Chains A and B, each alone.
Chain A
């Protein structure tokens, strides 16, 4: 097959590209330019968008012996990922920009361009597996190395996208093996540190970065009963579950610490309460996708309204929680409702819930609303 290897300049995508060549494919390396003004290590940038990353990717492509190009997706990235990130935070939600990038850039804009230009698939260094069921339908599964598993951020992929994606690292038992393989192949990036931060926030200061772009206005902090218990310098600086930095003037009645339960950008208010109020008994959203066959076609349920057992993961590295899922028709469409058997901890609207059945990623849902496990005392 003719394969496009998306090469970030990191060790994983370099090894993935090399493995695609070893598997007999005709491979071309492409680095995505996601910033109009790429930073450089010289000016303190880090993440995966620096000029040095582009050079690392090219050097790896040279060693593998494949052609290498840089394609400019900076405008799409700004529109679909950066602006979306700002808009979501402004609306009081907590978005996952890596997920959005996978959904709109890597497996959408890039994949479509690749297919249009004559490629059959895109290969990336993500740790996840694509398997086919008995009938040949493609399914997304967790990686062999659960510690490195990235199936969560790939939960947005659809059947069509899975059909044109390859993840050669998914069955590798550990990241250490990938690094060893990179060293054996002579890649200079074999020991390059993993990227952790949001790539477009070079110094890692998300709050400061947001404050610069959306401004910060003083507002009030209330408890669950609606009483004012303090003030703040800008609601977007808070995240659900946060305890530190609240500087509340009024002590809680029982003297126990309070946590951020809700951020309300419309009124610039922050709601705080006891830790147990962070426990969430139900999450739901109307924006969901299936990574392959839907639950009915997969044979999990007989009819679209039937409940089914699953595991739900609400962050890239959180523990999956055993849950019951059900599709519920609402006035405006269909809502995916997820009820955990033990409460979720500190979920914020805007986060993505990925639904697993065993190792299989069934699909994902952007959380629109949450229901606390602890009702507000009357």
Chain B
């Protein structure tokens, strides 16, 4: 038995997406070629772009296919930063909430190190929500802001962010906003056209599409300096031969209706708190993504719990970033003011289109024993008796 409850990492590819992916791998033709075979590939590619655009409420021309969420975020953040600094007025400042995904954190830190960017970190409250007063204050204090970038909802603790409020504030100051919707795509409705956003990043494999393809939605009015130069494909924003089969499968997944997961998620939350009363739900208890349940378990290492649940056939995540599998104390939980000792006991349970009640029940069955055993092993910084 194997129960998969780590859909925020990646979710199983949908059967019809696999079918259209594999069958379209046989298509010969570079979408940029002029002959009829090229045109055929181009037609299928553009149909896919239209399907993705429909799922995001944007124009197809605004969809730039990339290699995935990380490239989309890099393109948006670096591209907007360079473009906003291309004229005479220097705008080195970037507004970034704490607790963003590493694709954003490492990108802005790279800009700080190599391009002279100044990072204005926006604090989170105890529920993981971006502090709007801090955003407003920063926008009022500084007239050298290149962009604002933020998650639509936190990818670890699931807290939904006040994106439209931030956009309203930023737009009033003429500052473009990029939203990282990788973890919320197909969990929260997105209407790019009415959002006021300059750019929005998504990834196909988080919604049942293939790995290796994502998209940056770039408003017609928004300008970015490209990361990748070459044949001028995709409005010169992202050169390189376009991957029609991956885009086709992405389009199929994007056309699927959103699967509501709130009831199953609440079954996880209620169930976990019932079988392990010591567990603490993290993130916003109300305004949270419908597939995310995040807890800390006092006196346990998250990696002990993960290991024991894995041995019991249940796949979950500690939620925090890994460098080559090295677990780090979550920077998100730290930003929420949670002490390292508590943060070490973090476990993220995320659901997806294939999740069943039986999956949730399997987790609830395995969890008490795992918790008891992990508690015995305790925290890594506990006192170990000396050999002498």
Contacts and interface: CB of A to CB of B under 8 A. Distances in A.
Interface of A: 28, 31, 33, 36, 38, 51, 54-55, 58, 67, 69-73, 75-76, 79, 103-104, 108-109, 112-113, 116-118, 156-158, 161, 287-289
B380 A76 contact: yes
Contact of B377 (A38, A69, A76, A113): A113
Contacts of A117: 304, 307-308, 373-374, 377
A54 B380 contact: no
16 contacts: A38-B323, A38-B326, A54-B326, A58-B325, A67-B311, A69-B307, A69-B325, A72-B326, A75-B381, A79-B381, A104-B387, A117-B307, A117-B373, A118-B373, A158-B387, A289-B388
B305 to A, nearest CB: 10
Contacts of B377: 112-113, 116-117
B326 A70 contact: yes
B108 to A, nearest CB: 19
Interface string B289-316: 0000000000001011011101100000
Nearest to A116: B377
B325 A67 contact: no
Given A72-B327, A117-B304, A117-B373, A287 B384 contact: no
B324 interface: yes
Nearest to B326: A33
B384 A72 contact: no
A51 B323 CA distance: 8
- Interface secondary structure of A, over-half rule: mixed
Given A38-B323, A54-B325, 19 more contacts: A28-B307, A54-B326, A55-B324, A58-B325, A67-B311, A70-B303, A70-B326, A71-B327, A72-B328, A75-B381, A76-B380, A76-B384, A104-B384, A108-B387, A112-B377, A113-B304, A116-B376, A116-B377, A288-B388
- Interface secondary structure of B, over-half rule: mixed
B271 interface: no
B57 interface: no
B374 A109 contact: no
Contacts of B376: 116
Given A54-B324, A55-B324, A67 B310 contact: yes
A238 to B, nearest CB: 28
Nearest to A49: B326
Contact of A116 (B323, B378, B386, B388): B378
B36 to A, nearest CB: 45
Contacts of A161: 387
A38 B328 CA distance: 11
Nearest to B304: A117
Contacts of B378: 116
Given A33-B326, A38-B326, A156 B303 contact: no
A162 to B, nearest CB: 11
B304 A31 contact: no
Contact of B384 (A54, A58, A112, A288): A112
Contact of A72 (B303, B308, B373): B303
B384 A108 contact: yes
Contact of B373 (A108, A116, A156): A116
Contact of B387 (A51, A113, A289): A289
Contacts of A158: 387
Contacts of B386: 104
Contacts of B311: 67
Contacts of B307: 28, 69, 117
A156 B387 contact: yes
